[in-house]
Structure 1
Amino acid sequence: MNAVVIAVLVMLLLSLFRVNVVFSLITGALIGGVVGGLGIEGTVSAFTEGVGGGANVALSYAALGGFAVALSSTGLPKALVEFVLKRIGKKEEARKKKLPKALIIFFILLVSISSQNLIPIHIAFIPILIPPLLQILNEMKIDRRLIASVITFGLVTPYMLLPVGFGQIFHQIITSNIIESGLKVEMDDVSKAMIYPALGMICGLLIAVFFSYRKPREYEERVTTVAEAETEGYTKSGIVIAIIAIIAALAAQLWTDSMVFGALGGIAVLYVTRVLRWNEADSILTDGMRMMAFIGFVMIAASGFAKVMSATGDVERLVEQAAGIIGGNQALGALLMLIVGLLVTMGIGSSFSTVPIIATIFVPLSLELGFSPMATIVLVGTAGALGDAGSPASDSTLGPTAGLNVDGQHNHIWDTCVPTFLHYNLPVILFGWIAAMIL
């Protein structure tokens, strides 16, 4: 059996049985490497080599976590909570009504979408915005699985559909890899083609909002370090400094193309303005790094996992095996290509890294089966994006968990990964398959 399939299944099964995701990834990589013919030594060597590739991402998220908690010293999260309260009402009776719940869900959705294009900070907003809102969410008895689904939608759909911010990078990766694989396409075509899988994401979101998680859910009131910071209040000067720090962080990130130096730029502003006091800075930054540390460790393990899978050569073999089953059947071919993309991304955890892996084989296969250029774009783009929602190793699921689990009441696998997998991957496969058949 294919080593990639075995490794991903082992990782997913262990995760579903509540084994720590990091150890699930390591175990899956070890078994997959041995099955793929690398042996114990070869697997360990490949995994160790790959671990270094995730170090920068891990450090980036740790730095962003430190910046997020340091930013709470300005009172910005408190101001955001007050902003939300003014619009949903402060009385408990008012919060139980449907309109306030809809407003807060829409607010979180809007911020999540904006983080991918308007203000491209990706998941950095989550530790700033979500923990202070948990008390309100608890009072309104909003199911956190719904909030995880809303955030994941906002993190994934914009880059799939819109050629701005992170979407511009994703669309460039799709276009360049398809061209290199022998098919002439234009970048403008990607948005037109990806409308269909994006509709699948929208359908999943609507099901989550209006059906799956519409019922109230009870949570305990637990005080967290972040929540304690919020009670100190805020001043107009503090909010101005916070905005300046965010602008500085964004400017530094865009200039250096590094989230680490972006976070450092924002922290520097807080230091210079004395909002972040020297005698308190170490404990505050450490608390923030601890909040995002889980993401960092998973990203490091996922990078090692991806290296092992690449070293076995079974990613290409998986596509070749799928091609052998197809036998010229377009409908079956489209479905199998999407499933292969889902498996690869579920293990690697990154849509951006999946596209170059699959495009080299998917494009010739699509041409052989008679798919149009637009249909080929849909297959490559959708297969790449599949699995980003639902993968235990994806920052699109790790980010929501980091914000929603600060009080220990939100499980990464069962409250984030499973809901987002069911609500997004299944309809995206359906809509992507339909698009490939009609374009």
Structure 2
Amino acid sequence: MELQITTLGAILGLAVAIILIIKKVQPAYSLILGAVVGGLVGGAGLDGTVSTMIGGAKDIMPAILRIVTSGVLAGILIKTGSAAKIADQIVKTLGEKRALFALALATMILTSTGVFIDIAVITVAPIALAIGKKLNYSKMAILFAMIGGGKCGNIISPNPNTISAAENFGVELSSLMVANLIPAIVGLITTVIVVKFLTKKGEVIQETAVEENQEELPSFFAAIIGPLVSIILLALRPIAGITVDPLIALPIGGLIGVVATGKWRNTNEYITFGLSKMMPVTVLLIGTGAVAGIIKASTLQATTISLLNSMNMPEFLLAPISGILMGAATASTTAGTTIASATFGPAILSAGIMPLAGAAMVHAGATVLDHLPHGSFFHATAGATNMNLSERLKLIPYESLIGIVITIVSTIIWGIIL
């Protein structure tokens, strides 16, 4: 007989994990302990709990392997100065009159090429602070522009969250990247509209970060060629029927990028740096897989569907709602998308939702509340702009709005129209 854990156990285990994360306990251990509590309370027993956790972690290993190799591209983009060059070129091209749009677009493009959203914000921040000081804009405005653009880029990128969703729903990474392109564009437009109301709201920028030495940055062509190659390789499956797995496509793009920038002698240093950036995510995902195994083995999905039915709500809403809830629980797009897609994926598919549609809506939903204070993104972005925490808290409703817009558009497209 297949092991089944009660809904109460799954919810309690998740609650324990959330409380521990809020209390600043290491997130991976918080999730593992939450999984243990969930399994024991849910009636799985000690042996059943451990085997279910191991099974959940095992299921997530293919995504972790792809995420580890994506560190090659990310490390090279950052350490060669390619990421900074791409951002600087976009801002210079669009000019001061469109400065906030340029910041949002630059962060969106960086994130969409495979740079983590928090790293993208940190990369663009020196340019943003210098522009903000010159134009007398508030810190809230320039940070919101970067976060809004980053959220839009995050749902169309080969980042860990997209890889996890694609893996759990069994869809091509390139297809999932394209699936939320329209929501990303709408989110970018919304960001540009909303940011105008924040230019004089909050603390005005008094200081700027140390800017990059422009002489050490590569040319724009050399900077962009690596991520372009990766995207082209990923696109070969839908265009020409040739499958190039992200495990291969992303490192190839990175290696071509390091050669194009003329810094190939430092390749080992750069990929080591990229791996160091991926390791916290992979460790987090092991804990995520453990708790996902418990939730997946529970009756939580059936209970949620019954609740939606009792409220006369369509079952396709399970996809964005699960993404929102798990994104809020973990304060992470990656962990939220992974847990939601791994645990609610089968229930979403059994409701008749196409795999690509389910993956797109879950992924979009995870961006709504992934910036809450118990996550690292909240603090990393505050630090990047030297913003105090009380003012950073005031920005949460605005960045949540962008996630909501992205999710609504994605749900309309994939849940109603298609």
Q: TM range, normalised to the smaller chain?
A: 0.5 to 0.7
Query: Residue 24 in 1 paired to residue 30 in 2?
Result: yes
Number of the residue aligned with 2:175: none
List per-residue Cα deviations over 1:229-276 (Å, max 9, x = no partner).
x6552455xx55544433443455555543332233134435767933
Number of the residue aligned with 2:268: 282
Whether the 8 Å contact between 2:108 and 2:151 is mirrored in structure 1 is no
Query: Residue 65 in 1 paired to residue 71 in 2?
Result: yes
- Alignment length (residue pairs): 374
Counterpart CA distance in 2 for 1:320 and 1:409 is 46
Number of the residue aligned with 1:188: none
Query: Residue 358 in 1 paired to residue 327 in 2?
Result: no
Pairwise CA distance, 1:133: 1.8
Whether the 8 Å contact between 1:318 and 1:340 is mirrored in structure 2 is no
SS of corresponding position for 1:2: helix
> In the superposition, relative to structure 1, how do residues 206 and 247 fare at CA in structure 2: closer, same or farther (>3 Å)?
closer
> In the superposition, relative to structure 1, how do residues 135 and 428 fare at CA in structure 2: closer, same or farther (>3 Å)?
closer
Pairwise CA distance, 1:134: 1.7
Whether the 8 Å contact between 1:110 and 1:154 is mirrored in structure 2 is yes
Pairwise CA distance, 1:29: 2.0
> In the superposition, relative to structure 1, how do residues 313 and 355 fare at CA in structure 2: closer, same or farther (>3 Å)?
closer
Pairwise CA distance, 1:384: 3.6
Q: When the two structures are superposed, what TM-score results if normalisation uses the length of structure 1?
A: 0.62
Counterpart CA distance in 1 for 2:8 and 2:153 is 33
Residue identity in the other structure for 1:266: G
Counterpart CA distance in 2 for 1:273 and 1:203 is 33
Number of the residue aligned with 1:330: 312
Number of the residue aligned with 1:138: 129
Task: Find the partner of 1:389 among 367, 390, 398.
Answer: 367
> In the superposition, relative to structure 1, how do residues 408 and 256 fare at CA in structure 2: closer, same or farther (>3 Å)?
farther
> In the superposition, relative to structure 1, how do residues 286 and 391 fare at CA in structure 2: closer, same or farther (>3 Å)?
farther
Whether the 8 Å contact between 2:222 and 2:260 is mirrored in structure 1 is yes
Rg larger for:
1
Pairwise CA distance, 1:36: 1.8
Pairwise CA distance, 1:27: 3.0
**RMSD over aligned Cα, in angstroms?**
5.4
Query: Residue 310 in 1 paired to residue 296 in 2?
Result: yes
Residue identity in the other structure for 1:49: G
Counterpart CA distance in 2 for 1:53 and 1:73 is 32
Structure 2: gaps of 5 or more residues: 1-6, 133-138, 172-178, 237-241, 330-334
Pairwise CA distance, 1:152: 1.4
Number of the residue aligned with 1:181: none
Counterpart CA distance in 2 for 1:356 and 1:15 is 25
List per-residue Cα deviations over 1:57-98 (Å, max 9, x = no partner).
334334333333324565533532442353465xxxxx6xx6
SS of corresponding position for 1:262: helix
Whether the 8 Å contact between 2:316 and 2:415 is mirrored in structure 1 is yes
Structure 1: gaps of 5 or more residues: 90-94, 116-120, 160-165, 176-190, 364-372
SS of corresponding position for 2:54: helix
Of all paired residues, the percent bearing the same amino acid is 19
Pairwise CA distance, 1:437: 11
Residue identity in the other structure for 1:319: I
Whether the 8 Å contact between 2:328 and 2:369 is mirrored in structure 1 is yes
Query: Residue 422 in 1 paired to residue 400 in 2?
Result: yes
Counterpart CA distance in 1 for 2:221 and 2:186 is 40
List per-residue Cα deviations over 1:123-180 (Å, max 9, x = no partner).
3475885443220122323443542233213433x69xxxxxx89x98xx699xxxxx
Whether the 8 Å contact between 1:70 and 1:276 is mirrored in structure 2 is no
Counterpart CA distance in 1 for 2:199 and 2:289 is 33
Residue identity in the other structure for 1:29: A
Counterpart CA distance in 2 for 1:55 and 1:393 is 25
Q: Which moved more, 1:266-275 or 1:74-83?
A: 266-275
Whether the 8 Å contact between 2:349 and 2:358 is mirrored in structure 1 is no
Task: Find the partner of 2:55 among 32, 49, 53.
Answer: 49
Whether the 8 Å contact between 2:73 and 2:253 is mirrored in structure 1 is yes
Number of the residue aligned with 1:3: 9
Counterpart CA distance in 1 for 2:91 and 2:408 is 39
Task: Find the partner of 1:233 among 172, 195, 216.
Answer: 216
Number of the residue aligned with 1:183: none
The residue correspondences of 1:149-298 to structure 2 (distance < 5 A) are: 149-156=148-155, 205=191, 209-211=195-197, 215=201, 217=203, 232-234=215-217, 236=219, 239-253=220-234, 257-269=244-256, 275-278=262-265, 280-298=266-284
Q: When the two structures are superposed, what TM-score results if normalisation uses the length of structure 2?
A: 0.64
Counterpart CA distance in 1 for 2:257 and 2:316 is 52
